Structure 1
């Protein structure tokens, strides 16, 4: 999330590691490829959030051999990964060796800025870098995917429960903070912990009071398919150790003693090995290397290769392998193996704004940076009994709202969106199938834009700061290789603000963030807005500020979308890549339309569903 949280990064780097979650090495973890088999039943490219899920589930069958290839290494249980406060209000592992440290290509509509996009380069991937928000979108959101050829709520809900090991809040915490849960909405035997912290910043109560004053309903439990209103979200938090629960601690550690599951770290897949036979194309293996100057090696797949490298690196690998848009591939001298223009198209991310207000309150997150003694005491408290502010990532108070709930300009925004031809916002050389897919999505977006039942904006309250995050952007971008060198990052740009409707929505959201703080409920705290500041008043003021400050929520998705092929889709509802055998994609790139939620839980669920689809194919 955006760099306002970075005030705690110095703290996170100054503290020695206090947690160790190293797994027993019963399985094979290798940093060199000399210990690998010549072939495996399944090869998974990417040992991140989704890849470890699939690796765990497929290796449950002891007769099946599985290799996971991961560019990063195993983390060492550093505080900046494990301690919740560093992950949430701090920068966590962002900017460290566990991050690819990439930026989006300069975005003209965002003052030509290159916006940071942290991506996990570590076993566990993005689940080691994210803000630990454990949430899902509402039923209506996922069912929109069905309209373009994807899966829906009924397909995913069993997997939301399967992945989860839920611990409800203690009765005294639930009563004090008015946290309600629906026991039927959660799983209790999964690998990923979902729980509520025991510490909350006092200002959170003022936020919920402000929401009530503004007529916003309180959501009972957002994990039951209703995520429309003000709500508390659980965290991916181990309730016993008060540390991050991620794909590595959940899915790798629990499977690492299996001798049929191998993990190759520090190596990047560079190309998919293809074979043509009777007019068809099959994937038979993966080429990989430790670096640009290293020798390339090949490992064969007896059954399938599964891409789990994320929404930027999975399309990159497909394009390098000749699977993608012939127009792009020809420019780089790459022979087209499979004509699939949707690869790298449909790129989406959640754009984020941060409004900051100073509050006069005794206990706040600012105390941690302004008072070294207080910070030391709170860290000592966490070390001693896992309580206090370090035991929570700090992002607890949310509101997901439909357009009419946060602005009185809905009709103007809808009119603006409806009057625009979708094709005018895509590149003139966009393939017709991709254009048809965007037009189908556009109809859904404009249909739901005036609805109060489909949240389009997320507001997060963090001790005076209000983050406004657009959930269903109209803007689309691309991921495209610029070189045949696999170690050259692709050009990646989600097209932030390239569609005028997104700018109108974010401008309205920025005004609403100010409205929240200016409700009578916050008056006792004498709020003083510092960002964007009182000088920003007119529509042109807000738009200029938005262009200069818009950032990413670090949710890249959509580039290998689960849509019909004639709509620019890349995979079918079983995650199989169109036009080629023995190849699937299981990461966030498969999301056809980015949902109104943080991504990690949906990534886990999609990967769980993909694993079952693979098992069904091979009847094990």
Structure 2
């Protein structure tokens, strides 16, 4: 029986950070269990490879939602990374911390130590800012490189002017004092070498930790059940080679840490006996801890896009196919920054308010000088085009994740419950209205031909909502399914130190623990959660 100080389940955005931080002092050993393969696929490391990654069944879990009532009964694909680096190895690389009020809200829910002032040091500790850096907010010495877009296109500058026409100011650093405004996104892309490369958490944190010899990584290893002695977690049973592979076990001298993501972590808790007792018994699982909040509170951003046909200007559409694409590949290989292979999917952003009376922006819109057939990312149109879309940052709708079998090959039931409230429905209509207004601004007029998607047949609020229901989809920001809260909260799963209520030696450290979704993309906050968790784990075990 192999033993390590810590067993980490999942080598994703959080698990890789934990492996690095828990071993950097040289005193502890860590075993990381990952169901996916090593991160050797070349498309992982090419920034624009995200269009291939999210469709790659070898690199994702391939989860599909239950039919969602709020979007006409459609089922939605919910990709989650399954490789070293997890979703940070397949995502759009946007680095977005959210707003101060997000974290202050977490603390106000009974989670001391999670206010914005509390979490800011953890954000700064992980980051190596490769652009303008306000020292009060940004880090420059961490493992995770964060840079501004290297790819430039005149349409991106026109987008800034379009936002200004609407009275939206230009804000250079939305991850510093204020989020509201227009400008370029920041990305986890490393520009320091010959070629631009994706900075996944595996590249930034895990692989340097592996080189110390204190981290053992098991890939193609499917976590099957957390092992307990009484109320204490002592290890993990996993299947090597696949969901029905060779049964194996690994023991933890100190703690088991679950970092499998917001869709997988609740499933593993449930099949390990942690959850609603009635649900567990229906699975044939004896309850270890009665925590009905496991799998509840699933939250995600639901996004919708508009696309416009252009003329007399070059877009990514023309550069992304045929001989032009061969040229782009050659430029990337030779180290040119002026190539679409080095860009993120959405170079530009605007954070804005749906109502001027609001205290902070509640909408996030993004822009790219490209368009996709029928609004599907990855399949470029054959004519010049541009796209703008977005989502409500703090949706009210909540769903759930439930294991339906202890067989690891059987997908859990996932119900994101999009557009379940009137406020969410009104907001998605407003998102599309603003996207159309931006794309129809005077700055684009010399090149504007017509709106292709949704088109002029969609005009009333009811028609816009029907369009959003038919063509919207996930922003890949699943969170909240093992939410943090005090023991007095009957739906809380972990306490403010991320320890599972009622148990010893078990923590959850990933986006599952978010009490409420943050105002933006979830990868940067997940990395922060792991940074803060590692600090707490070291302190608790030292005590």
TM-score in terms of structure 2 length = 0.92
Is 1:143 paired with 2:104?
yes
Q: Name the stretch that deviates more: 564-573 or 67-76.
A: 564-573
Q: Distance in 1 between matches of 2:58 and 2:41?
A: 13
Partner of 2:76: 115
Tell me which of 300, 304, 307 is aligned to 1:349: 300
Q: Please give the secondary structure, in 1, of the residue aligned with 2:263.
A: helix
Q: Please give the secondary structure, in 2, of the residue aligned with 1:222.
A: coil
Is 1:263 paired with 2:186?
no
Partner of 2:379: none
Is 1:94 paired with 2:55?
yes
Tell me which of 39, 42, 48 is aligned to 1:75: 39
- 8 A contact 1:182–1:220 mirrored in 2: no
Partner of 2:141: 189
Tell me which of 478, 494, 500 is aligned to 1:577: 500
- 1:522-561, aligned counterparts within 5 Å? 522-561=444-483
> How large is the Cα RMSD of the aligned pairs?
1.6
Instruction: Give the C-alpha shift of residue 181 in structure 1.
Output: 5.0
Q: Distance in 1 between matches of 2:219 and 2:67?
A: 31
Partner of 1:443: none
Is 1:402 paired with 2:379?
no
Tell me which of 11, 22, 33 is aligned to 1:58: 22
Q: Please give the secondary structure, in 2, of the residue aligned with 1:63.
A: coil
Q: Please give the secondary structure, in 2, of the residue aligned with 1:86.
A: helix
Please identify which structure carries the higher strand content: 2
Q: Please give the secondary structure, in 2, of the residue aligned with 1:545.
A: helix
Q: Name the stretch that deviates more: 242-251 or 378-387.
A: 378-387
Tell me which of 152, 158, 162 is aligned to 2:125: 162
- 1:458-469, aligned counterparts within 5 Å? 458-463=364-369, 464-469=386-391
Partner of 1:612: 535
Is 1:104 paired with 2:65?
yes
Gaps of 5+ in 2: 370-385
Q: Distance in 1 between matches of 2:487 and 2:276?
A: 13
Partner of 2:152: 200
Q: Distance in 1 between matches of 2:336 and 2:110?
A: 46
Tell me which of 578, 596, 600 is aligned to 2:523: 600
- 1:469-480, aligned counterparts within 5 Å? 469-480=391-402
Q: Distance in 2 between matches of 1:374 and 1:256?
A: 39
Partner of 1:29: none
Please identify which structure carries the higher helix content: 1
- 8 A contact 1:86–1:393 mirrored in 2: no
Partner of 1:84: 47
Is 1:512 paired with 2:512?
no
Partner of 1:325: 276
Instruction: Give the C-alpha shift of residue 123 in structure 1.
Output: 0.8
Q: Distance in 2 between matches of 1:477 and 1:199?
A: 38
Q: Distance in 2 between matches of 1:368 and 1:138?
A: 36
Tell me which of 413, 423, 426 is aligned to 1:501: 423
TM-score in terms of structure 1 length = 0.81
- 1:560-571, aligned counterparts within 5 Å? 560-567=482-489, 568-571=491-494
Partner of 2:260: 309
Q: Please give the secondary structure, in 1, of the residue aligned with 2:229.
A: strand
Tell me which of 334, 355, 380 is aligned to 1:384: 334
Q: Please give the secondary structure, in 2, of the residue aligned with 1:254.
A: helix
- 8 A contact 1:81–1:93 mirrored in 2: no
Q: Distance in 1 between matches of 2:200 and 2:28?
A: 25
Q: Distance in 1 between matches of 2:283 and 2:144?
A: 42
- 1:395-433 Cα distance to aligned partner (Å, 9 max, x none): 22101122215xxxxxxxxxxxxxxxxxxxxxxxxxxxx
Q: Distance in 1 between matches of 2:214 and 2:159?
A: 50
- 8 A contact 2:485–2:494 mirrored in 1: yes
Instruction: Give the C-alpha shift of residue 337 in structure 1.
Output: 1.2
Partner of 1:30: none
Instruction: Give the C-alpha shift of residue 531 in structure 1.
Output: 0.7
Partner of 1:41: 5
- 1:493-545 Cα distance to aligned partner (Å, 9 max, x none): 21111222211110121111111122222212224101111000112211211
Q: Please give the secondary structure, in 1, of the residue aligned with 2:210.
A: coil
Instruction: Give the C-alpha shift of residue 378 in structure 1.
Output: 2.0
Q: Evaluate the alpha carbon distance shift between residue 220 and residue 526 of structure 1 in structure 2; reply closer, same or farther with a 3 A threshold.
A: closer
- 8 A contact 1:138–1:222 mirrored in 2: no
- 8 A contact 1:138–1:228 mirrored in 2: no
Partner of 1:287: 237
Partner of 1:430: none
- 1:64-114 Cα distance to aligned partner (Å, 9 max, x none): 121111101112141x21112232xx3435324111111111112212111
Q: Distance in 1 between matches of 2:160 and 2:246?
A: 57
Q: Distance in 1 between matches of 2:52 and 2:120?
A: 31
Count of aligned positions: 520
- 8 A contact 2:257–2:506 mirrored in 1: yes
- 8 A contact 1:577–1:583 mirrored in 2: yes
Instruction: Give the C-alpha shift of residue 564 in structure 1.
Output: 2.5
Tell me which of 155, 165, 168 is aligned to 1:213: 165
Q: Distance in 1 between matches of 2:91 and 2:227?
A: 32
Q: Evaluate the alpha carbon distance shift between residue 503 and residue 509 of structure 1 in structure 2; reply closer, same or farther with a 3 A threshold.
A: same
- 8 A contact 2:23–2:215 mirrored in 1: yes
Q: Distance in 1 between matches of 2:312 and 2:403?
A: 50
Is 1:243 paired with 2:197?
yes
Q: Evaluate the alpha carbon distance shift between residue 565 and residue 94 of structure 1 in structure 2; reply closer, same or farther with a 3 A threshold.
A: farther
Q: Distance in 2 between matches of 1:474 and 1:93?
A: 26
Q: Distance in 2 between matches of 1:401 and 1:91?
A: 31
Q: Distance in 2 between matches of 1:338 and 1:75?
A: 35
